[in-house]
Amino acid sequence: MNTTPGNITPDIPQLDPMRLQARKHALLNEISTKPSRRWWRFAVPATTLVAAVAATLVLWTPTNPNAYASWTAEPRAPGDLAPVLADCGKRLDQHDVDRGVNGPDWPAPREVSVVDWRGDMTMVLYTGPQSESLCMRTPKGVAMSDHGNVKGREPLGDRLFADFAPQMGMTDVHTGSSVQFLTGRVSPKVGKVVIGTQDGLKVTATVDNGWVVAWWPSLGKPEHVELYDEAGGVLQTAPIPVRVR
């Protein structure tokens, strides 16, 4: 150890260049042989005031060019919800296990408010007094997007519709294929919601218990919503504000 008055400098061991190079190649080989599961990237606005946690999910493999062939603009008839709730429930249970340690410090919501059956994905919106969770289940697995601190969210009031912040999207990092999501609240007067996207899609959302959920395979963000009553009468066409990312 080298010492001078008032200063102590430890000797720094010198690494063998040959050993360092061998270790570098070993690490690269190890990384290259591990199967990648990070095929999808979630995107949420950076400016949102709502805390959000999103997990990666292998929805479909990049080698499947017809990944969205089963998608429909209209939600399909409900199926057997038991296996979906079982898989989503495991993620909620893990949320509570990790709460305040490896995860956010709010309890997982447990009330099923709306279920959207569409293509190969089933989405379940869980709500609670402190948080909401959107569970997304496909044949490849389950992902959860959690939103906490919802007590501070502006009430719906006299409005017919209000979307949530953040508006969430998901992109395949290999192919660039994207999925967009919309979740929100609607007045009891609203019986049907049709979403118009920036790239011209018309997507009928699932509405239940005053909540609305939909997804579509596109880069187009939600641009406006068409709101109808139970009899099919037009109530309103409302623009959706663009969120700054």
Give the pLDDT of residue 59.
45
Q: What is the pLDDT of residue 102?
A: 73
The per-residue pLDDT for 224 is 95
Token reading at 242? 């663009």
SS3 (DSSP) at 224: strand
Q: For residue 118, give the 3-state DSSP assignment.
A: strand
pTM of structure: 0.72
Q: Which of 143, 178, 179, 149 is nearest to 165 (CA)?
A: 149
Q: Could you read off the pLDDT of 45-84 as tens digits, one per residue?
A: 333 323 333 333 444 433 344 446 789 999 999 999 999 9
Nearest to 133 by CA among 58, 217, 50: 50
Query: Which residue is listed with tokens 């700054």?
Result: 244
- Segment holding 52, helix H or strand E: strand 51-54
Q: What is the DSSP letter of 99?
A: B
Q: Is the dihedral of CA 181, 185, 190, 196 positive or negative?
A: negative
pLDDT per residue as tens digits for the range 74-110? 999 999 999 999 999 999 999 999 888 876 788 999 9
Residue 170: per-residue pLDDT: 72
Cα–Cα distance measured from residue 12 to residue 190, given in angstroms and rounded to the nearest whole number: 70
Pairing between strand 2-4 and 7-9? antiparallel
Residue 166 pLDDT: 55
Mean pLDDT, consecutive 10-residue stretches, the chain (245 aa), reads: 47 46 41 33 35 38 52 93 96 90 84 95 94 90 85 88 74 72 95 96 97 92 95 95 60
How many angstroms separate the Cα of 195 from the Cα of each of 28, 49, 143? Answer: 46, 24, 23
- What is residue 47's predicted lDDT score, i.e. its pLDDT? 30
Q: Report residue 53: phi and psi, to 5°.
A: -130, 130
Confidence at residue 23, expressed as pLDDT on a 0 to 100 scale: 45
Q: What is the per-residue pLDDT for 3?
A: 47
Is the bond preceding 107 in cis, omega lying within 30 degrees of 0? no
Token readout for 159 is: 């409005």
